[in-house]
Structure 1
Amino acid sequence: SCIINKSTRNRCQYCRLQKCFEVGMSKEAVRNDRNKKRKEVVARSPEIVPRSYELSPEQEQMVDKIRCAHQETFPSLCQLGKYTTNSCADHRVQLDLGLWDKFSELSTKCIVKIVEFAKRMPGFPSLTIADQITLLKAACLDILILRICSRYTPEQDTMTFSDGLTLNRTQMHNAGFGPLTDLVFAFASQLLPLEMDDTEAGLLSAICLICGDRQDLEEPQKVERLQEPLLEALKLYVRRRRPSKPHMFPKILMKITDLRGISAKGSERVITLKMEIPGSMPPLIQEMLENSIEGQDNACGQNANKKH
């Protein structure tokens, strides 16, 4: 939603990137590394981090806070003791009720952790309660998908939940993902080459959450002001971590747009699931995920023509 011109173009890197796409810049120009000819030279020489990529003490403090919030609400794959189940492991069915019960239980717990993560974001508690709820509902599915996809194991084509339950693609389909399954697994595969660490995953989650373009916000400008330092911190951190890959920051940022599309379909899936399960939808899942379909069209990065 930022106005992008010569004097303001450096204030919001995300909106600047979206503006470039609006006027015809090819996404392939971002996706493809323009420095292929220099790769061999770079590989042989040590990476030198330019001083311009250094974070200020205040930025370091903010980044540390977000990384800790992410790690303490989302254990990494290496911290989990994996376990599997043989339930519907080799053929797809509309819905396996045993898997659904487990999946819905774990999803509810994950939503609780996302709420805890949100409350620890810099500036988030200063927003009105109404805006906090609006942002949480709009971003919950984005963060949920980002988190489960970061626990993808390509060798086995499996995903692992926070209690260690590890399901293959067929089981994920039968647990409730249904027609969303292959889209989610494709996104997980696209995350792998980015090699994001906990800091980058935490910052990306925070940027998904604190987005001033969400519908029905009472103070959208305040939300935008809170998002700006998150974008700047992610840009500096990514470039400091990968000084020889200058296009990695926009590549990572573009994943927000991909998440928006998956989340929109995910919200629709929650609605169709209500007709497939025998009982009622767990209240927290219905409250947080079904309602996230509201405002998806106006989510930042999704439609530049629908702005506040």
Structure 2
Amino acid sequence: MFDFMDFPVFGPGEIVDFYSASSPACTLQERDRDQDLAAFFPELIDSDWQEHRCSQSVESQSSNCSSDDLFASPASPPPPPRTYKPCFVCQDKSSGYHYGVSACEGCKGFFRRSVQKNMVYTCHRDRNCIINKITRNRCQYCRLQRCFAVGMSKESVRNDRSKRKAKKEAVKMTIMETYELTAELGLVVEKICRAHRETFPSLCQLGKYTTNSSSDHRIQLDLGLWDKFSELATKCIVKVVEFAKRVPGFTGLTIADQITLLKAACLDILILRICTRYTPDQDTMTFSDGLTLTRTQIHNAGFGSLTDHVFTFAGQLLPLEMDETESGLLSAICLVSGDRQDLKEPSKVDVLQEPLLEALKIYSRKRRPSMPLMFPKALMKITDLRSISAKGAERVVSLKMEIPGSMPPLIEEMLEDLQNLESCQRGHTSFSL
């Protein structure tokens, strides 16, 4: 009944080790197991299992090695550290060959600085001072002469300096090449910059003038300054609307979304603009017609408690040193923000903002290759602007109770709650879109 089984034949007296991988019994068991596995998992036998068998074979071969092989010779010790002759100049411990001779770090640096700066030294004795590691700092003249005497080379210093300069220039050029505006982004930057410049003249283009009205101390409200400020603010809002209409893609949005974005960002842009006309040494700000007011006068003109927040923000902008292109791009980014409430098509607004963000990132990094954090720092100012704008809206509410008569309609409408937006969309808005 066991005819189908293929048992190995053992000789008389033969001892069989059933636990050895090389024994016939073990071979039989493994062959049968392989056949069974191959029937159900052919891909396993073709790949993973064969790999497993090979590893077993290697282990088996290694187990048959002689006992001498088990005790490998110890690894050869590491080579001894390289040693140099003492410093040729002062006999101190050398750190290697510098400028043609074995020299210590001190003499290497001394020689390099002396050559690069064309230093002229004077010996106060007989120009024959002893130079060693104790006396080397006592006479620079004799130390430099000693450097030349032992063979230090001026040309090696110049070549080393040229290599360092070339390396720095190569790194700089690599950075410059990395941040290049594409033709399309370059056109966006050009349009934004022109729109910003034509709706907001720079400080140097204005003829400054001042007023002595209520400049001594803070009061609740100076009606004369308020009338002047409200007149200027109305004109500035019109300029912001004009700027918005020239932002690429803005007029392609729905009228409702254009109004929503303008009302949400108008005060942000106005604050950003006035803060770029801050003069820190005089603590003044200059408005679009050239009127220059002190912090106290701006407080009395209607800013009230908002004044210090605006001036603090202006001071924080100074380290960024933004030019008019960056100010224009940041204003446009404030305008087309898809996270504004009550937008009908926020995804379209986000599409408009993406090239503006990319343009500002590339432009700012190209302008300041060594200051890569300027772009994120500029974007963080948008959060500060929104916080100040929220306080500005609260200030307008309190102003309504302080001023006689009514608030100028464009100012009031710009800062009214967005819950009244529907009435504006029905044609009752003063925004000229």
Query: Which range, TM-score by smaller chain?
Result: 0.7 to 0.9
1:160 aligns with 2:290: no
Match of 1:137 in 2: 263
Classify the secondary structure of the residue corresponding to 2:304: helix
Question: Is the CA contact (8 Å cut-off) linking 1:138 and 1:294 kept in structure 2?
Answer: no
What's the counterpart of residue 279 of structure 1?
Answer: 405
Q: Which of the numbers 282, 288, 296 marks the counterpart of 1:170?
A: 296
User: Number of paired residues?
Assistant: 254
Which residue of 2 is the match for residue 219 of structure 1? 345
Q: How does 1:119-268 map to 2 (within 5 A)?
A: 119-268=245-394
Kindly indicate whether the alpha-carbon contact (under 8 Å) linking 1:77 and 1:151 is maintained by their aligned counterparts in 2.
Answer: yes
| Partner in structure 2 of residue 269 of structure 1 | 395
The residue that corresponds to 1:71 in the other structure is 197
- CA deviation profile, 1:102-149 (whole Å, cap 9, x unmatched): 000000000000000000000000000000000000000000000000
Aligned-partner Cα distance in 2 for 1:294–1:159: 33
User: How far 1:213 moved relative to its partner?
Assistant: 0.7
- Aligned pair partner of 1:57 in 183, 193, 200: 183
Equivalence for 1:109: 235
Identity of aligned residues (%): 76
Deviations 1:76-101 (A, max 9, x none): 00000000000000100000000000
**Alignment partners' CA distance in 2, 1:146 and 1:117:** 14
1:290 alignment partner, SS class = coil
Secondary structure, aligned partner of 1:159: strand
Write the distance in 2 (CA, Å) between the matches of 1:211 and 1:114.
16
SS in 2 for 1:54: coil
Residue 34 (structure 1) aligns with: none
Q: Does 1:288 align with 2:414?
A: yes
CA distance in 2, matches of 1:174, 1:97: 8
Cα deviation, residue 294, structure 1: 9.0
Can you give the 5+ residue segments of structure 2 that lack an aligned partner in the other structure?
A: 1-163, 422-433
Q: CA deviation at 1:291?
A: 3.5
In structure 2, C-alpha distance between the alignment counterparts of 1:292 and 1:209, rounded to whole Å? 16
Distance in 2 (CA, whole Å) between partners of 1:86 and 1:50 is 49
Aligned to 1:14: none
Which structure has the bigger radius of gyration?
A: 2
Q: Give 1:262 deviation, angstroms.
A: 0.3
Cα shift at 1:279: 1.1
> 1 or 2 for the larger relative contact order (CA 8 Å, sep ≥6)?
1
Q: Which amino acid aligns with 2:257?
A: D
Contact 1:134-1:216 within 8 A present in 2 as well: yes
Q: TM-score, normalised on structure 1? A: 0.80
Alignment check: 8 A CA contact 1:59 1:233 kept: yes
List runs of 5+ in structure 1 lacking aligned partners. 1-40, 296-308
Against the structure 1 CA distance between its residues 265 and 65, is the aligned structure 2 distance closer, same or farther, given a 3 Å change threshold?
same
Give me the TM-score of the superposition, normalised by structure 2: 0.57
Of the three residues 98, 104, 115, the one matched with 2:224 is: 98
Residue 268 of structure 1 contacts residue 290 of structure 1 at CA under 8 Å; is this kept in 2?
no
What letter matches 1:287 in structure 2?
E
